[in-house]
Amino acid sequence: MSFLRLLFCVVTFLFSLTTLSAEKPFDFATTPGKLPKQVVPEEYQIRIAPDLGKLTFSGSETIKLNVRQPVRQLVLNALEIKITSAAVDGEAIPQSAIKLDPKEELLTIALTSELPAGPHSLELKFTGKINQQGQGLYYAPYQEQGTGAKKMMLGSQFQATDARRFFPCWDEPSFRARFQLTAVVPENFTAVSNMPVEKETKIAGGKEVRFAATPPMPSYLNVFCAGELEVLSARLKNVDHGVITTKGKAAMGRYALESSQQILTYFNEYFGEPYSLPKIDHIAVPGGFGGAMENWGGITYYESRLLFDPEKSSAETKQNIYEVVAHEVAHMWFGDLVTMAWWDNLWLNEGFASWIGTKCTAKFNPDWEVWLRKSVPRDPARRYGLGKESAMEGDARSTTHPIHQPVANEAEAGSAFDDIAYRKGLSFITMLESFLGEEVFRDGIRKYMAAHKLSNTTTADLWNSLSEASGKPVSKIAAAWTEQPGFPVVKVARGSEGKITLTQERFTVHYENAPALEWKIPLTYSIAGEAAPANLLMASKTIDLPGAWADRAVKLNVEGAGTYRVQYDDVSWKLLLGELPKLSSADRANLLLDAWALVQANRAPLSHYLELVEKLPTKDELAEREQVMHVFDFINRLLAGDPQREAFQKYSRSMLRPSFEQVGWEPQRGEPPKIAVLRASLINALGDLNDEEIVAGCRARFQKYLSDPRSLAPDLRPSVFAVVGRYGDEATWSKLHELGRKTTSIEEKQYYYDALACALDPKLAARTLKISLGDELPTSRAIYLVAKVARQSEHPEVAWEFAKANMKQLLAKTDALAANSYAPGLFAFFSDAKRISELERFAKSDLPPTAAKAVGKAVDEVGFRAEFKVRLLTQIGTLFSDRTKER
């Protein structure tokens, strides 16, 4: 290395050190945001009166202000709201002094004279609208349980920046205030908010419900739901737990209610701060939005994420419910009691809630193998079930970003909710906890809660508390993981006399000339024959493992807890393959994941991965089989329309069939839940791979189900319906459609419509696509029917042409953020490089500049698939037919 080059390296290294530790602890004055900080709201009194017929509402509010420095104007947020009157300290403001800027989403009130420092009040009267999509105040139409009558429920969704559509407010997370809501609703409605009802008064045409005031909190945590509702409740240690549903469904909340009590008790202990509100409600909304939202004291859920019907729900649904409730309840502390200062630190909320939600789920449900299954990819529709693998796949690409990323405006705040914030956040915390030790880590979290409750924080505050508890320089270790993109691969090389040398480099996929980066890696490893795994901090590019291990297998990244890949040299790999039966299932799943990633990264041929799959010592380990099914599914879709596909399908059936023989068609009494999940997944996978016996078996079971629904176990229904739908004719399609229309269960409905989206017949695919424009499905589900057809029908072009022709109607069902990613997302199912220019043209003519990131991601994905397909095809030749013969 020349001196100049060395100097350059030293300078860049120093530079990277300073930028990597740049973040400061929370300080209100320097927190990013658009709103001036001279005026802070302290308390809001809000009154809202919805008009269900006109889908509008009228509102009024009085805000107690603390003016910290004299000002000439008040600047706050408002969007799609009309101000009918304003007054400051009781003095009316002329309309000409009120300015609404829809682009900046700001309301500015010019004052005739300077407002001196001290307490003041702002009174506003306004009107707004009730939306079709889950944004601000929205309505969710549904069919009533039992009667099938058409009804409507009101719900709210404010995160990240939509409270301003409900009432004008200082809508940035560091502006904490108390909120007291009063709502006017019809007599037969039940209204729910963050706090318990304080007073209910009959008025003309309905009733007025006043809720108690909240503790100081960010505006995005407010909630308001109302409708013909039912409540299932229980009181535990001064906290009222409630599950709130539409009429006729409360009994299905039993499982969530019991989970809520167990989970809250666990977190009270873990955080060392008891839950601070008098009640916690879990509200099932039959539409509007697709996920769950941690409004303090009034968590909202898309109905099928909360309600469990023992007659109709699957084992997977049950596990998802527990996990989602645990995630949302964790937010009552991480997010609500202590809130990230600004959206650039969203991962503090989401990474942490994902991590501790999983930890809690695993603790009380050890036979679900929660951690293990979190490490392998699954159906992308099940957001909460997904784990770190999907984050690592995205983090290896050129389109990734650091966990801690600048957020300039509202659009960027919304798109911060991605894999990196949730899952890279989760996996980094997992790695950090295992490095610091479980108890030390918990002590650090308790310090953090005690120091920052009812306030805001940055990542630096969390590292400070953990450093204090552990005596270790946490921020120095963490910086590279949170402040720079990507993650490393550790290469294992054996030298003479069994010396093992490790070298790290950045791991990338489809990303040439990626900037080189380095990490401090908390490494774990186990040596064959040694009782306990060892760990060390890899703080430089190259290190030697202590000791010499000539003929012994070494497994790095024990149980896959770390966020890095491992690439073994040939000798080390062969030794490991010989050791497979002695490794834990978690270690074998980790080897499968890394081997497949190396194939994607062009660091190993496909045969490297297949060799490992063929040597797996068991057939019914769920996580291992899920990983294999995921890869087979990926290749199967990539080869659609290619003559090589038949040989591949034959090979992959021969690999999965023995697993199915082992678990069989019929659920056995007392079998572990993971076997039930495995059976369902295998039926789906083998059905997709054209296994005739499976397809015939699904058809026979579906016929029987039509006359006797109890004959088909709830666990098997989604898979059986999907296979029947995939190869179905028009009559089958119509039958599935009829079943879907009739049921009032949101969960069951989804299974039928998912099955419709599977149809391979392009004529039926076209019929399924049309459903997305109507009102049969909740809006959030209707628009994603198109993506499902693109993926499942093997006709992404049919789905894209349909979406292009109906884009306006489709986007009316979603929010502005989803509009950025909706069209690009449909391209991700193409593997033809020619589509890239088509997408770029479409983005230029039809998409806003804020869609650039989503377009970039889709372009990268199509490019990767196209390149990978060519690479695999050149390797395949007789690969699959030879391997099938050998077996």
Among residues 346, 224, 199, the alpha carbon closest in space to that of 297 is found at 224
Structure tokens at 266: 């666990």
Least Å distance between CB 456 and Zn ion?
A: 17
Least Å distance between CB 353 and Zn ion?
A: 5
User: Is the CB of 321 or the CB of 353 nearer to Zn ion?
Assistant: 353
DSSP 122-145: EEEEEEEE-BSSSSEEEEEEEEPT
Q: Which amino acid is at 521?
A: I
Dihedral of alpha carbons 565, 569, 572, 575, sign: positive
Q: Which amino acid is at 522?
A: P
Least Å distance between CB 253 and Zn ion?
A: 20
User: Is the CB of 459 or the CB of 572 nearer to Zn ion?
Assistant: 459
Least Å distance between CB 16 and Zn ion?
A: 31
Q: Which amino acid is at 586?
A: A
Rounded Cα distance between 252 and 311, Å, is: 10
Q: Which amino acid is at 555?
A: K
User: Is the CB of 350 or the CB of 861 nearer to Zn ion?
Assistant: 350
Comparing every residue's Cβ against Zn ion, the nearest one is 353
Query: Where do the H-state alpha helices sit in 208-345?
Result: 254-271, 315-331
Alpha carbons within 13 A on the beta-carbon side of 609:
30
Rounded Cα distance between 172 and 174, Å, is: 6
Burial class of residue 137 in the structure, from the number of CB atoms within 10 Å of its CB (0-12 exposed, 13-18 middle, 19+ buried): buried
User: Is the CB of 353 or the CB of 676 nearer to Zn ion?
Assistant: 353
Q: Which residues contact 513 (CB under 8 A, 6 or more apart)?
A: none
Least Å distance between CB 798 and Zn ion?
A: 35
Structure tokens at 141: 């139409």
Q: Which stretch binds Zn ion (CB under 5 A): 279-287, 343-351, 600-608, 809-817?
A: 343-351
Q: Which residues contact 465 (CB under 8 A, 6 or more apart)?
A: 444, 445, 447, 448, 451
Least Å distance between CB 333 and Zn ion?
A: 12
Residue corresponding to tokens 């042409």 = 801
Least Å distance between CB 293 and Zn ion?
A: 8
Q: Which stretch binds Zn ion (CB under 5 A): 147-155, 349-357, 582-590, 869-877?
A: 349-357
Check if the beta carbon of residue 483 is closer than 8 Å to that of residue 402.
yes
Measured distance between the N- and C-terminal CA atoms of the chain, rounded to whole angstroms = 52
Residues 612-671 that bind Zn ion (CB under 5 A): none
Rounded Cα distance between 638 and 832, Å, is: 10
Rounded Cα distance between 352 and 200, Å, is: 38
Residue 146 has a CB neighbour count (10 Å cut-off) of 10
The one-character DSSP state at 343 is G
Rounded Cα distance between 442 and 363, Å, is: 15
Query: Where do the H-state alpha helices sit in 484-584?
Result: 570-579
Give the SS3 label for residue 554: strand
Give the SS3 label for residue 154: strand
Q: Which stretch binds Zn ion (CB under 5 A): 92-100, 164-172, 348-356, 784-792?
A: 348-356
Least Å distance between CB 294 and Zn ion?
A: 6
Residues in the chain: 887
User: Is the CB of 270 or the CB of 660 nearer to Zn ion?
Assistant: 270
Among residues 752, 633, 748, the alpha carbon closest in space to that of 682 is found at 633
Check if the beta carbon of residue 619 is closer than 8 Å to that of residue 658.
yes
What is the bridge-based pairing of β-strands 488-494 and 565-568?
parallel
User: Is the CB of 353 or the CB of 396 nearer to Zn ion?
Assistant: 353
Check if the beta carbon of residue 600 is closer than 8 Å to that of residue 869.
no
Least Å distance between CB 291 and Zn ion?
A: 8
Contacts with Zn ion, 18-57, as mask; x by CB under 5 A: ----------------------------------------
The beta strands (E) that lie in 688-827 are given as none
User: Is the CB of 41 or the CB of 297 nearer to Zn ion?
Assistant: 297
Least Å distance between CB 651 and Zn ion?
A: 40
Least Å distance between CB 384 and Zn ion?
A: 9
User: Is the CB of 423 or the CB of 625 nearer to Zn ion?
Assistant: 423
User: Is the CB of 98 or the CB of 353 nearer to Zn ion?
Assistant: 353
Least Å distance between CB 272 and Zn ion?
A: 21
Check if the beta carbon of residue 265 is closer than 8 Å to that of residue 331.
no
Rounded Cα distance between 280 and 287, Å, is: 21
User: Is the CB of 107 or the CB of 353 nearer to Zn ion?
Assistant: 353
Rounded Cα distance between 674 and 412, Å, is: 39
Q: Which stretch binds Zn ion (CB under 5 A): 57-65, 260-268, 342-350, 450-458?
A: 342-350
According to the binding rule CB under 5 A, does residue 353 interact with Zn ion? Answer: yes
Beta bridge partners of 115: 71
Distance, C-alpha 885 to centroid of its chain: 42
User: Is the CB of 353 or the CB of 479 nearer to Zn ion?
Assistant: 353
The one-character DSSP state at 212 is P
Q: Which stretch binds Zn ion (CB under 5 A): 204-212, 249-257, 347-355, 734-742?
A: 347-355
How many residues bind Zn ion (CB under 5 A)? The answer is 2
Least Å distance between CB 303 and Zn ion?
A: 18
Among residues 553, 396, 551, 414, the alpha carbon closest in space to that of 489 is found at 396
Residues taking part in catalysis:
328
| φ/ψ bin of 227: left (φ > 0), alpha (ψ from -120 to 50), beta (otherwise) | left
User: Is the CB of 154 or the CB of 353 nearer to Zn ion?
Assistant: 353
Q: Which stretch binds Zn ion (CB under 5 A): 297-305, 345-353, 393-401, 444-452?
A: 345-353
User: Is the CB of 299 or the CB of 663 nearer to Zn ion?
Assistant: 299
761-795: string of b/e by CB count within 10 Å (b at 16+)?
beebbbbbbebbbeebbbbbbbbbbbbbbbbbbbb
Where along the sequence are the contacts to Zn ion (CB under 5 A)? 350, 353
